[in-house]
Amino acid sequence: MIIEKRLGFRHSITAVKELAGRRVAILDSSNSVRIFSTEPITLVDGFKTSLAQNDKLLHGADISEDGRYVAFCVQKEGVAVFDGKSKRLLYRFKRHEGDVESLCISRKHRYLATGGQDGKTFLWSLSTGRMVASLPHHSDFVTAIAFSPNGQWIATGSFDRKIIVTNISSLSHGFRLKGHSKAITELLFIGSHRLVAADKDGEISVWDYFGTRVIKRLKKMFDEVTALSVTPDERFLFAADKTGAVSLYDLNSYELVALRYLQYTKPVKRLCYLLEGNHLVVGLADGEVTFNSPLKESRKMEEFIASGDLASAYRLAEENPLLRYSDEYMRLEALWNGAFQKAMSLLELGRKEEAKKILEPFGVEASKRLLAQQLVNDFADFQKFKAAVEGQKYQLAYSMAASHPMLKQNRYYEMMESEWEKRFSRAKKIVMQKGGEERAKELLKPFRGISDKSRVIQALLSEKEIYRLFMKLVAKRDFKGAIELAKRYPAIMELDEYKKIEKIADIIAKRASAELEAGNYAEAARLASQLKEFPDMRERAEELIETANLYASAMRYFAQKDYGAIYAILERHPELEDTKIVQNLEEAWRKVVTRAEKAASSGEVGDLKKIFAPFLSLQQKRAKMVSLFKQAYIVQIENALKRGADVSAAVGRYLELFGMDDEIGSWLAERGMKERFPEEERKDTAQTDIDSLPESVTE
């Protein structure tokens, strides 16, 4: 592995984040910020805060992707947020009862989420500096937080071993994931509604959070998982633990590629794979940071290949498994395939030593060495095999090929298979003719006694009426009937006509999926209806029809401006969030929420009512809207308190409206006032009548 740059700092690394403009931010436990350009790797900006050192938390610092906001957990003091450009302190948040354990800034840097020792997670607007929502609780410390790339979802993990995934857009829809035996330490959203979660025991699970199920539990690491990162195409996952190991997983197959892809002598605290430059940046507990270039070794591999040093090229791929997915490795494999075919040709001529010499450079790679050995061994009796094929002693030839599989890759085996196909094709026509059975038997005689061929021959000869019926069904395109017949007479499945039916089904399924992807829902449903004719594809067909109908319904409701109906469908089928219709709808809603958050930060309830007036019928957005009315009232109470007014009556009015919820409870606790008020049961926000809410709670 090429280490392009090695940096050393005095304090443990707490965050590594790729920033826009080919930059990367590195934060350490002294709460210092350093910004580096990536090409070349040089320090370009940074600042040091006066905050107390804090290196105990895995997720105690974060920075927005544009570098504008930098947030730190501060022991006993909540959270401090700085302006990354002016380096000045913007906000201090201290609403949690107990210390803040974790924080995370959303990718679109609109929100900061803070998780506390009280099991609560609060959502803050970075543009206003105000709390905008309280998320569902955990029963223990909130130890990890992650936002989805599209900004729709937030996941929180806890010492209670549970994960909660909440829809930020509505605050009324979410999932609870249970399946870890230890505290959650890391969370990472990836495509196709998947969430990677890791825990203190080294377990890593890939979740389908819409389906609330574990897709795959990955190979366990040695100790507590401390960091996760993926390549830009989300093909590979890097995971680090307290022992200093960095493991590599393939997220397509969910297989472990290398358990010790990298190994450090100190615990790894942070990982970040940079899109620009393809660097894997690793931050350690002792303050060391390495910029690893896993793909730059492909140049060295290219040099080895060009010089003919294939052994060194394979050794390089063994040391760095990620190279196996590079273009250079594909060229190396092409050389192997060419050498393999050439060696086979030489073995056919009996030139064994020349064949071995051609394969020798590839022997450093274990799998290639075994294949080369098998090729040489299997071709030891090639002349006998060739003679059997040429003499039409097919039973002997097939028996030899079964014992020596490499023989199946040469042209004589292909000649034998081609001869079978020609004879069987002719036999199918002859057997239908009057008295044609004996002629068909004679034609297929060389292949009798070969197990897989005998079954088909027997079916053709003894059940020719069944075969005739099958062919009629195929001719009429009655695929359902043809498949059902084949299930009763399995030998039919060996026929080319049956295999063509399977190909037709695959083609229809692919076309239906493509039409669905393109937004042609009626055509997708029509093709899926055709697919139902294939019994084995019925379940897939019904899924496609259901999805197409859902998408079509969403389009119809959108045209009718019945947004409530769309959101009702979305709650039952969250996968619809990827459709253009829902994306456009949510983008419009986000703009409304941004205006509303600004109004709430000023305590302007009247403005909130005007902003939300067109959306009051959207029951699915009720919790989101009510959360901002709550914040507006808290701002009113806060302003009254600053004026020296007695806010007891105002708090009482708030409690009458909403009960003792997280929002007012945390505000009161922060000011030491909570014990003065009764623990009134919180009200169901879904039942809140927004129209009847007062303009103010302080008057």
Residue whose tokens read 């399924």: 509
Tally of CA atoms within 13 A in the half-sphere of 420 that contains its CB:
23
pTM over 0.75: yes
Name the helix (H) or strand (E) containing 611. Answer: helix 605-612
In angstroms, the CA 46 to CA 70 distance is 11
Q: Is 426 helix (H, G, I), strand (E, B) or coil?
A: helix
d(CA 47, CA 49): 7
Whole-number pLDDT of residue 438: 86
Dihedral (CA of 628, 633, 634, 635) sign: positive
Q: How far apart are CA 522 and CA 547, in angstroms?
A: 11
CB-based contacts of 551, cutoff 8 Å, min separation 6 = 516, 519, 521, 576, 579
What 228-235 contacts at long range (C-beta under 8 Å, 24+ apart), as own/partner pairs, is: 228/186, 228/187, 228/188, 228/196, 228/198, 228/204, 228/271, 229/188, 229/271, 229/272, 229/273, 229/280, 230/188, 230/190, 230/273, 231/273, 232/273, 232/275, 234/190, 234/191, 235/325
Phi-psi category of residue 344: left, alpha or beta, with phi > 0 → left and psi -120 to 50 → alpha: alpha
Confidence of residue 630 (pLDDT cuts 50, 70, 90): very high
Q: At a CB cut-off of 8 Å and minimum separation 6, what does 619 contact? A: 564, 567, 686
Q: Averaged over 375-383, what is the pLDDT?
A: 94
HEC readout, 330-369: HHHHHHHHHHHHHHHHHHHCCCHHHHHHHHHHHCCCHHHH
Report pLDDT digits (tens) over 183-230.
999 999 998 899 999 999 999 999 999 999 999 999 999 999 999 999
Euclidean distance between CA atoms 681 and 256, whole angstroms: 49
Cα-based angle 612, 617, 623 (whole degrees, multiple of 5): 65
CA 18 vs CA 64, 85, 195, 272, 515: distances in Å: 9, 16, 20, 7, 37
56-70, 195-209, 553-567: the lowest-pLDDT one:
553-567
| Mean pLDDT for the stretch of residues 324-336 | 90
DSSP label at residue 246: E
* C-beta neighbour count of 614 within 10 angstroms: 11
Q: What is the mean pLDDT of residues 656-680?
A: 91
Which residues, in sequence order, are CB contacts of 503 under 8 Å at separation 6+?
A: none
Question: Residue 479: in which H helix or E strand, if any?
Answer: helix 479-488
Give the 3-state DSSP-derived string for 523-558, with helices as H, strands as E and coil as C.
HHHHHHHHHCCCHHHHHHHHHHHHHHHHHHHHHHHH
**Which secondary-structure segment (H or E) carries 591?**
helix 580-601
pLDDT at 53 over 90: no
Let me know: does 426 contact 465? Beta carbons within 8 Å: no
Nearest to 14 by CA among 83, 88, 103, 97: 103
3-state secondary structure of 179: coil
Q: For residue 264, give the 3-state DSSP assignment.
A: coil
pLDDT one-digit tens code per residue, 99-152: 999 999 998 768 999 999 999 999 999 999 999 999 999 999 999 999 999 889
Q: What is the dihedral of CA 293, 294, 295, 297, to 10 degrees?
A: 90
Six token digits for residue 38: 């990536």
Task: Tell me the DSSP string of 48-77.
Answer: E--SPP--S-TB-EEE-TTS-EEEEEETTT
pLDDT of residue 89: 96
Residue 285: is its pLDDT beyond 80? yes
Query: Distance between CA atoms of 591 and 521, rounded to whole angstroms?
Result: 29
Give me 551's structure tokens.
């998408």
The 8-class DSSP code of residue 644 comes to T
Cα angle value 426/429/434 (rounded, 5°): 125
Average pLDDT, the chain: 91
What does the alpha-carbon distance between residue 148 and residue 138 come to, in Å, rounded to a whole number?
20
With a cut of 90, say whether residue 629 has pLDDT above it: yes
Query: What is the rounded distance in angstroms from the CA atom of residue 407 to the CA atom of residue 382?
Result: 8
Residue 297's pLDDT band (boundaries 50, 70, 90)? Answer: confident
Q: Is the pLDDT of residue 31 over 80?
A: yes
User: Is pLDDT of 33 > 90?
Assistant: yes
Mean pLDDT of all residues in 323-347: 92
Q: Of 223, 215, 218, give the one whose Cα is nearest residue 204.
A: 218
Alpha carbon distance 424, 462 (integer Å): 15
The type of residue at 134 is S
pLDDT digits (tens, 9 = 90+) for 424-481: 888 887 877 777 888 888 899 999 889 888 888 887 777 677 777 888 888 888 888 8
End-to-end C-alpha distance for the chain, whole angstroms:
68
How far is it, in rounded angstroms, from Cα 69 to Cα 59? 16
Percent of the chain with pLDDT over 90: 64
- In the chain, the domains with their CATH numbers are 2-293 (2.130.10.10), 301-382 (no CATH), 463-560 (no CATH), 580-692 (no CATH)
295 — pLDDT class (breaks 50, 70, 90): confident
